[in-house]
Amino acid sequence: MPTQTKQKITLWEFFQSLGKTFMLPVALLSFCGIMLGIGSSLSSRDVLTLLPVLDNTPLQLLFTWMSKIGSFGFSFLPVMFAVAIPLGMARDNKGVAAFAGFVGFTVFNLATNFYLTTKGILPSIDPLVLKANNIQTVLGIQSIDTGILGAIIVGIVVFLLHERFSTIRLPDALSFFGGTRFVPIITLLVLGLLGLLVPLIWPWFAMGINGLGRLIHSAGAFGPMIFGTGERLLLPFGLQHILVAIIRFTEAGGTMDVCGHSVSGALTIFQAQLSCPTTHGFSESATQFLSQGKMPAFLGGLPGAALAMYHCARPENRHKIKGLLISGVVACVVGGTTEPLEFLFLFVAPFLYLIHAILTGLGFTIMSVLGVTIGNTDGNIIDFLVFGVLHGLQTKWYMVPVVAAVWFVAYYAIFRFAITRFNIKTPGRDIDNSTTSEKSAKAASSSKSGYDTPGILVALGGADNIVSLDNCITRLRLSVKDMKLVDDATLKNLRAIGVVHVNEHNLQVVIGPQVQSVKDELDYLIAQPSV
């Protein structure tokens, strides 16, 4: 790929890129949650009373080990974000950016500790003093608990410093410190100064976040609906992760004392309660923003929509789309990844997607009203079993199949009526006149991803047309020189689920769960020298 001059990143691209970086720590956090959930539930008194066979030393040691390992995500969440953000956003020298992120986060808290020590507030073990000043131990450092928001600020600052100084050239006498080596150095200085300001400005940040939390919670039963609907509406633009992070990890999602510690954020509260041996049951105010709210739509609604699309397809085309729909349902129900199904109707019938977003939000409200308390992040069958069934009837997991069944019928009826009434061109509705070339089919079958990546590259305008290439969980994210060279129809014929044109130079190609393999193969093809 030819060397390109760095293009100035737009505000839209910035927030998209920022949201994408959240996926790395969140994916690990989700797995840690499953480990913690299995370990804590299978070592609980209720489960041991029900299944005495589990009450033996080797198994209990295993479950305790799983709980300890799983608690990592909760204990080190801020530093994971501080490292992941510059790692994900940096265009090159990503390792340097990640290293600088760790340096910046540590120095940020050390500087805050220095300020508090100078003022005579620290060192202290007085719980009243610590609580009054919002002081927690971060990486072994007594500092003001800025949580995920502080980590995000650190990550963004480090990214900006990396982009500005990673290619800096210093005088010969100082040349050893130039280039990428200068990034952690300038990070040390800038974040060391920024940390001194935290005690002065952080109360204002905290006040704003708490105000947002009060606004959401003041909506009562409709608060979860606002969150759930908003998340779905932001998903097509790739901005949903920002809203989710605010609720999951900041005071906007609530604040609670758990095991003697004040924790903030819906997911943080849930995981703290999960790992606390003296806590029984989970906070409804926290879980109302978590997995349980997604389950009606994910386990019932979207599979119902998929069945409606199958029945509305032409009979001669049903066998062609069966695999597409089944893989989408499996990704949704088992993995909690909904885009492969949602993008099948998003572009051809946006009003159906709006209905889907509203029904998803309503699912959050219904689960909250029913008093269901199932946490974690994904809303899939794994979350249902691990954080619902395994934790006993107190989670009211038995309500999930009932509501999911209602959502299945509702989605099926709405989608079938809308597709037939308005002749919506969902998969299989058109007369299929397209043919896949023998060459394309051979390329797809021989590739690791199962996609014709050479054909996709040609449809994107070739290697010379691509300025940058990245991916999120289901989509290729690209910047191109000339959008006119991008062939949407060919991309869809090559099994792309959808193509989103963000602006004149940026687009997203919705691939599905195999997007990482497609991106890796495209990177390899782009790197090949031109003949």
From CA 525, how far away is CA 1, in angstroms rounded?
Answer: 9
How many angstroms separate the CA atoms of 443 and 464, rounded? 21
Q: How far apart are CA 274 and CA 294, in angstroms?
A: 20
User: Does the annotation mark 472 as catalytic?
Assistant: yes
Alpha helices per DSSP H over 145-265: 147-165, 182-218, 222-234, 240-249
Strand partners of residue 509: 476, 499
Torsion over CA: 177, 180, 185, 189 (sign): positive
Helix (H) or strand (E) holding 333: helix 318-335
Tokens standing for residue 86? 């510059």
Count Cβ atoms within 10 A of the Cβ of residue 492 and give its class: 0-12 exposed, 13-18 middle, 19 or more buried: middle
Q: If DSSP codes are grouped into helix, strand and coil, which group holds residue 149? A: helix
- Per-position DSSP letters for 373-404, written without gaps between them: ---SSS-SHHHIIIIIGGG-GGG-TTHHHHHH
- DSSP summary character for residue 347: T
Tell me how far apart the alpha carbons of residues 207 and 1 are, in angstroms, rounded to a whole number: 48
Q: Which residues make beta-bridge pairs with 479?
A: 468, 506
Catalytic residue among 32, 312, 332, 472: 472
- Catalytic positions, written as ranges: 472
